[in-house]
């Protein structure tokens, strides 16, 4: 019996620091493996993950809550090969059912079209110009000290303020947003996985913004947001605009914070990679992709089979919950040579699935990549000889890192760095 045979992925704290041996064990057994806990099917293979992402037979209704969604078809007979009508009948009961992440076409298509009207090339360009200024403003707060706790000092405030600027949040409200959003986690191992919805406060705040701008238009981004229309020209309800904005606000921050902190950890641990990036900044985009591949910010998300189908050689019964593990799929040796090795010249690195695929591929991925590229350029400009603080994380042969205790996300809780302020 494998040492991981009886491990419960959803509650076992031993998997938090390093889940990759567990993922490898699952994949070695089968890239689509039945789990003894909660009856889910774990997808660890790259090809198999792509198949699920792109197959409309799988509903995203349980994307966030998975087996904790409260939606179960255990009582449905084995001869039932389609539960699509049952999913639609009970969709409103599922946590976060009002948000794009759990929607299926055609509703998802409609909402995604609205989102694309918020993420216009013009707005993204303006936002990128803001990023360059913001990066320096954040670095100004600590760079002279020669040390920082990178997540609180840079990654969190930077990512939050980038999204706030993108969505037009008034600068007078930035401090309150930072305070309220601090410390939000979904899927923590020590809490009820379905009770914690970090979007509620954002919903209320953005509703007030959008309602005000529809009644009193101004020459600002929030007014553009309030006046956005669906692809067919119809005007969405205020709450529909709000939900798109709030989900982008919350989800965009999570991904970027984890990407930036994972990337800086590599830079500080690997002087050879740090030197290569300093020598040739054109390597930064590939470095970011390899960071996403090796340390995927999303640890798990879920789908439910609408109809009985197959993934690889595994039959998936209608009503089954499928757990996609991007961190496992991105280390599938059938796709990536020596997958545990970090390479800044990996030719097929952009084929990773850290941002998902198919209709639910992350709409904010260009934003996260821009934040990473701009941040690393300014950090390398202003911080020389970046290294891990041994007082906080231990010597190289005995490192100590704390990761967020959640089964949904993969990310450091803190990252203490030392460096020489660049002249």
The pLDDT tens digits of the residues spanning 42-92 come to 999 999 999 999 999 999 999 988 999 888 776 666 678 899 999 999 998
Residue 123 forms part of a structural domain? yes
The DSSP-derived string for 62-130 is: TTTTGGGSS---TTS-TT--B-HHHHHHHGGGSTTTTSGGG--TTHHHHHHHHHHHHS-HHHHHHHHHH
Confidence at residue 197, expressed as pLDDT on a 0 to 100 scale? 52
Residue 197 forms part of a structural domain? yes
Residue 65's CATH number: 1.10.630.10
The DSSP-derived string for 274-315 is: HHHHHH-GGGHHHHHHHHHHHT-SB--EEEEESB-EEETTEE
Closest CA to 355 of 418, 297, 280, 405: 297
Residue 3 forms part of a structural domain? no
The backbone region for 19, taken as left when phi is positive above 0, alpha when psi lies in -120 to 50, beta otherwise, is alpha
Confidence at residue 4, expressed as pLDDT on a 0 to 100 scale? 78
Contact 291, 266 (CB under 8 A): yes
Is this structure's pTM higher than 0.85?
yes
Instruction: Name the residue range of residue 220's domain.
Output: 13-186+193-421
Confidence at residue 195, expressed as pLDDT on a 0 to 100 scale? 41
Contact 166, 123 (CB under 8 A): yes
Residue 188 in this model has a pLDDT that exceeds 60? no
- Give dist(CA 88, CA 286) in Å, integer: 41
3-37 pLDDT per residue, tens: 777 889 999 999 999 999 999 999 999 999 998 88
- How far is C-alpha 326 from the chain's CA centre? 10
User: Nearest 5°: CA angle at 392, between 390 and 394?
Assistant: 45
Residue 361 in this model has a pLDDT that exceeds 80? yes
Residue 94 forms part of a structural domain? yes
Residue 224 in this model has a pLDDT that exceeds 90? no
Residue 1 forms part of a structural domain? no
Query: Domains in the chain: how many in total?
Result: 1
Residue 249 forms part of a structural domain? yes
- How far is C-alpha 43 from the chain's CA centre? 18
Residue 354 in this model has a pLDDT that exceeds 60? yes
Under the banding of pLDDT at 50, 70 and 90, the label for residue 257 is very high
Confidence at residue 259, expressed as pLDDT on a 0 to 100 scale? 98
Contact 417, 386 (CB under 8 A): yes
Closest CA to 202 of 249, 155, 157: 249
DSSP 183: T
Cis status, amide bond into 106, omega within 30 of 0:
yes
Residue 237 forms part of a structural domain? yes
Measured from the Cβ of residue 359, the count of other Cβ atoms closer than 10 Å reads 15
Q: What φ, ψ does residue 305 adopt, rounded to 5°?
A: -75, 120
Confidence at residue 77, expressed as pLDDT on a 0 to 100 scale? 63
Residue 70 forms part of a structural domain? yes
Confidence at residue 314, expressed as pLDDT on a 0 to 100 scale? 94
Residues in Cβ contact with 19 at an 8 Å cutoff, skipping those fewer than 6 apart: 299, 327, 410
């Amino acid at each position: 019996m494998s040492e991981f045979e009886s491990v419960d992925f959803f509650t076992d704290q031993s998997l938090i620091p390093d889940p990759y041996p567990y993922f490898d064990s699952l994949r070695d057994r089968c890239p689509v493996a039945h789990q003894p806990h909660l009856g889910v099917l774990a997808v660890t293979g790259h090809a198999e993950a792509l198949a699920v992402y792109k197959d409309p037979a799988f509903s995203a209704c349980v994307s966030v809550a998975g087996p904790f969604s409260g939606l179960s078809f255990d009582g449905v007979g084995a001869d039932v090969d389609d539960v699509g009508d049952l999913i639609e009948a009970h969709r409103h009961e599922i946590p976060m059912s009002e948000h794009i992440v759990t929607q299926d076409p055609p509703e998802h298509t409609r909402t995604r079209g609205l989102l694309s009207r918020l993420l216009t090339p013009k707005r993204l360009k303006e936002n990128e110009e803001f990023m360059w200024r913001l990066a320096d403003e954040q670095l100004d707060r600590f760079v002279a000290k020669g040390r920082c706790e990178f997540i609180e000092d840079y990654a969190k405030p930077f990512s939050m303020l980038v999204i706030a600027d993108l969505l037009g949040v008034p600068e007078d409200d930035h401090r309150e947003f930072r305070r309220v959003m601090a410390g939000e986690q979904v899927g923590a191992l020590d809490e009820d996985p379905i009770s914690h919805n970090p979007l509620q406060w954002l919903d209320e705040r953005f509703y007030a913004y959008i309602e005000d701008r529809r009644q009193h238009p101004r020459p600002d981004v929030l007014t553009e947001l309030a006046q956005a229309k669906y692809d067919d020209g119809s005007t969405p309800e205020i709450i529909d605009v709000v939900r798109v904005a709030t989900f982008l606000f919350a989800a965009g921050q999570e991904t970027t914070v984890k990407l930036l902190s994972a990337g800086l950890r590599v830079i500080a641990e690997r002087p050879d990679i740090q030197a290569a990036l300093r020598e040739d900044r054109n390597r930064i985009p590939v470095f970011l992709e390899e960071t996403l591949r090796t340390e995927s910010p999303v640890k798990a998300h879920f789908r439910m089979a609408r109809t009985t189908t197959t993934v690889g050689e595994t039959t998936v019964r209608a009503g089954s919950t499928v757990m996609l593990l991007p961190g496992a799929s991105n280390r599938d040796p059938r796709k990536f040579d020596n997958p545990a090795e970090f390479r800044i010249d990996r030719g097929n690195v952009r084929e990773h699935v850290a941002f998902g695929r198919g209709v639910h591929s992350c709409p904010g991925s260009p934003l996260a990549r821009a934040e990473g590229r701009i941040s690393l350029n300014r950090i390398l400009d202003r911080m020389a000889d970046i290294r891990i603080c041994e007082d906080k994380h231990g010597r190289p042969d005995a490192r100590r890192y704390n990761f967020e205790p959640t089964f949904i996300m993969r990310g450091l809780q803190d990252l203490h760095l030392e460096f020489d302020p660049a002249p």
